[in-house]
Amino acid sequence: MACGSLRVYLGAAPGVGKTYAMLGEGHLRAGQGTDVVIAYVEDYGRPLTRRMAEGLEQVPRRTIGYRDCAFTEMDLDAVLARRPRLALVDEMAHTNVPGSRNEKRWQDIHELLDAGINVISTVNIQHLESLNDVVEHITGAKQHETVPDDVVRGADQIELVDMSAEALRQRMADGDVYPPERAELALVNYFRAGNLTALREIALLWAADRVEEALQRYRRGHGIQQPWSARERVLVALSGGAEGDTLIRRAKRTASRGAGGEFLAVHVEPDDASTSPSAHLPNGQRALVEELGGTYHTLTSGDPARAILDFARQVSASQILIGATRRTRLQRLFSRGVGEIIVEGSGDDIDVCVVTHSRAAHGRLLRVRQARPDG
């Protein structure tokens, strides 16, 4: 049996309309003849959301008793028995009441997918596990319900539901998100304009990572070799020399100029087992890469220039940063250096930036960039 597909509406903040969008897609699919049911929807008393749910079949919820109180949850067994083509399941980060088969709603969703049922679900950016602490620092509100990032990233489709801070605050003031008594308090706390702007920025950057994954899959599926990148990605090539610290810091600064930029460091070990220890990368440089938020990679090859170029295209690097040569003029007369080969082999799709340092031959200043042609 083929697994179902998962589509996730990712909200940049509460109240942007992710549940409304999910229900709208449900109506569209139903109108096209798809068998659609609402497995679980949370309207939070919002009239517009409640009206949007009308006209779609709803699977009755299951009532579970816990600590002398009655709670309702999605009836997983009833949805499985109903076997719709598409199930709408709101709030995938939700924690089920004790006594439910699964602890988390995203685990219920996986059971539906395993049964061949397609699912559309929703989650807000503050419920992603990796962003939980960041959102708490921004808003002052701790989120106790989270979903692993990999669960959301594993979706077949992710659609970001966004709204400007001004528009969302107006929705709040109009009573479209919370009742007036709650809205007034929310506007001066969680829903401050600065908070909402920061949450939108985080959501866009997180979604950009997902865009990168989609681009990589498309490239592999269509045999496309040239790198595509949705953001600045700087690859710094480290030779093991003392100039590495300078190059690492320059790579960090270069990547930081664009929103969401990142840098990677690569060191090529010769494939000759008799190589002297001096050819290995100093531990301090690797630690500096990690301290500055980069990722470190080691390759083994007898052709370091080719290995660096191949790796750059594999990770969709937008720029390669290398140090100015330490080779003397006489050495350069008889053979080409790694840097020269990288510049020549980078083509039109990768910039190469050669950075001077105190150990460059003759102390010469050298700033060379091979830029992509205009257009």
Residue 350 within any structural domain of the chain: yes
Residue 35 within any structural domain of the chain: yes
Residue 375 within any structural domain of the chain: no
- 257 and 149, same structural domain? no
User: Which strand (E) or helix (H) includes residue 66?
Assistant: strand 62-66
Domain C-terminal end among 221, 249, 284: 221
Domain C-terminal end among 199, 221, 243: 221
CA-nearest of 216, 207, 220 to 317 is 216
> pLDDT for 18-62, tens place per residue?
999 999 999 999 999 999 999 999 988 888 899 999 999 999 999
Residue 34 within any structural domain of the chain: yes
Alpha helix (H) residue ranges in the chain:
18-31, 47-53, 76-82, 105-114, 132-139, 149-153, 165-173, 180-187, 193-221, 244-256, 283-291, 304-314, 329-334, 338-345
Residue 227 within any structural domain of the chain: no
CA 10 to chain centre: 12
Contact 38, 56 (CB under 8 A): yes
- 255 and 217, same structural domain? no
Q: What is the pLDDT of residue 259?
A: 55
> pLDDT for 91-117, tens place per residue?
999 999 998 999 999 999 999 999 999
Q: Distance between CA 220 and CA 200 in Å, rounded?
A: 30
- 114 and 209, same structural domain? yes
Domain containing residue 35: CATH number: 3.40.50.300
Task: Quote the number of domains for the chain.
Answer: 2
Residue 26 within any structural domain of the chain: yes
Contact 104, 93 (CB under 8 A): yes
- 243 and 215, same structural domain? no
Contact 49, 43 (CB under 8 A): yes
Domain of 40 in residue numbering reads as 6-221
Q: What is the pLDDT of residue 221?
A: 76
- 281 and 338, same structural domain? yes
- 161 and 109, same structural domain? yes
Contact 47, 79 (CB under 8 A): no
Residue 39 within any structural domain of the chain: yes
The DSSP bridge pattern shows strands 351-355 and 86-89 to be unpaired
CA-nearest of 265, 344, 254, 255 to 298 is 265
- Coil, strand, or helix at residue 204? helix
Angle at 301 between CA 296 and CA 303, to 5 degrees: 115
Contact 121, 50 (CB under 8 A): no
CA 314 to chain centre: 18
Q: What is the pLDDT of residue 182?
A: 86
Q: Distance between CA 204 and CA 208 in Å, rounded?
A: 6
Q: What is the pLDDT of residue 215?
A: 66
Domain C-terminal end among 192, 221, 250: 221
Distances (CA, A) of 302 to 196, 269, 270, 305, 326: 51, 8, 5, 9, 20
- 249 and 178, same structural domain? no
Q: Which residues of the chain fall short of a pLDDT of 50?
A: 273-278, 330-335, 361-375
- 304 and 193, same structural domain? no
Q: What is the pLDDT of residue 178?
A: 86
- 327 and 255, same structural domain? yes
Domain containing residue 344: CATH number: 3.40.50.620
Residue 85 within any structural domain of the chain: yes
- 237 and 187, same structural domain? no
- 362 and 263, same structural domain? yes
- 185 and 44, same structural domain? yes
